[in-house]
Homo-oligomer: A and B are copies of this chain.
């Protein structure tokens, strides 16, 4: 077993871990990053076809995502807007229709209910503290409820309710009954509004990264060089005599401190000696990740634009609930990227590869025309099946967890520091949040003597 020495060991080479490692290395620390996979990027993964990048993991940047944008600028990586020119497609009640803007052309009653309840959720979210969401007069009551139960009790127009349920399912990639209302409000607060989370232009789906979202991760890893060890799942972290010993498969690192930057369900599987405090150990067992299924169809060009469509679609018919135009800015290809969330992603995971392809392409054909059924290339990915991710896009908190356990999320345990988008306040659960959490963890470590 290789024995390495470092000032700091980082567990996980996603955006959080790489950012932390790079900042600490820039500050003169010797770092070693242990990554379970054969690649860096974590929940960001850019696949390709004929040299055309296809983001099968985290993909988009919002206007306010300054940390990841700063990183892109530092590393000389450009971005381009997600296409929004053209109409959206709505599939509802067996009908396919087209619309412009955030709201589909549904009944005025449903629109009014949707607007009212989105405004209500935004107003509630404004009362949630980013740093201490467990404070606040209504925090315990909101945390005791699932978002699903709240929507069932408060939203009485069926279509409005089902669109809001779809929004929660998309944001937290689980059934709305699984996630605390307070955690949904926290996400809204963290993003600056529900509209921001759901929008393309001006919102969370506004931009994409030239060459794919993994580009900055690859460049950070190149800078870090030999400090990044791939194919080393970490099994145990020992704290003894002012040091840590991090044991991975085939490699052991001795360091002064360790930054754990993997999703909670994976951090829960590491053996800690001495054991983590009870609250910290329990919260790791109370942060399951949801399921996300992404399916990319690659065409010779974005033909739907000729038809006046932007590539974005929303459907109340499962499993593919939304799609976006993820074509490269070069114009060399057209890519439709479809998403299935939570229970619908799990439904797809039970099908064979061929069945999944058929289901997805039937959907695309219905929304974008006959041509959509015959792509040059098709690829899909189920993040819940990845051993070293166990679900995407981020861990959600079931009812009762944020108010009881939230205070331990960022608290170091001796020489163990915690990073990852789940620990972020601004851009919570987003890639920008992962970068911010890496910066924060690096600052924590650098502030220590």
Q: Using a CB-CB cutoff of 8 Å, which residues 368-403 of chain A contact chain B?
A: 382, 384-385, 387, 390-391, 398-401, 403
Contact of A400 among B146, B285, B391 (CB under 8 A): B146
Q: Which residue of B lies closest to A290 (CB)?
A: B282
A175 at the interface (CB under 8 A from B): yes
Contact of A177 among B143, B177, B391 (CB under 8 A): B143
Q: Which residue of B lies closest to A397 (CB)?
A: B398
CB–CB B178/A275 < 8 A:
no
* CA distance in complex: A433, B416 (Å): 39
* CA distance in complex: A123, B289 (Å): 35
Write out the residue numbers on chain B whose beta carbons fall within 8 Å of the beta carbon of A268.
268-269, 285
CB–CB B400/A174 < 8 A:
yes
CB–CB A149/B385 < 8 A:
no
* CA distance in complex: A401, B179 (Å): 11
Q: Using a CB-CB cutoff of 8 Å, which residues 273-294 of chain A contact chain B?
A: 275, 277-279, 281-282, 285-286, 288-289, 291
Contact of A346 among B275, B279, B349, B384 (CB under 8 A): B279
Q: A144-B149, A149-B144, A398-B398 are in contact. Are A385 and B175 (CB under 8 A)?
A: no
Q: Which residue of B lies closest to A391 (CB)?
A: B282
A23 at the interface (CB under 8 A from B): no
Q: A175-B400, A282-B291, A346-B278 are in contact. Are A148 and B152 (CB under 8 A)?
A: no
Q: Using a CB-CB cutoff of 8 Å, which residues 255-304 of chain A contact chain B?
A: 265, 268-269, 275, 277-279, 281-282, 285-286, 288-289, 291
Q: Using a CB-CB cutoff of 8 Å, which residues 85-115 of chain A contact chain B?
A: none
Contact of A390 among B149, B176, B285 (CB under 8 A): B285
Write out the residue numbers on chain B whose beta carbons fall within 8 Å of the beta carbon of A385.
275, 278
* CA distance in complex: A282, B383 (Å): 12
A5 at the interface (CB under 8 A from B): no
Q: Which residue of B lies closest to A285 (CB)?
A: B288
CB–CB A144/B177 < 8 A:
yes
Q: A177-B143, A281-B390 are in contact. Are A148 and B384 (CB under 8 A)?
A: no
CB–CB A349/B146 < 8 A:
no
**A404 CB, min distance to chain B CBs, angstroms:** 6
Write out the residue numbers on chain B whose beta carbons fall within 8 Å of the beta carbon of A131.
none
Q: Given A268-B269, A278-B382, A281-B390, list of 14 further CB < 8 A pairs?
A: A145-B146, A146-B146, A175-B404, A176-B400, A177-B400, A178-B404, A277-B350, A278-B384, A278-B385, A282-B288, A282-B384, A285-B288, A285-B289, A398-B398
A-B contact pairs, 25 of them (CB 8 A): A141-B149, A141-B152, A144-B177, A145-B146, A145-B149, A148-B399, A148-B400, A175-B404, A177-B403, A178-B398, A178-B401, A265-B285, A268-B268, A268-B269, A275-B385, A277-B350, A278-B349, A278-B384, A282-B346, A282-B391, A285-B289, A286-B288, A398-B398, A398-B400, A399-B399
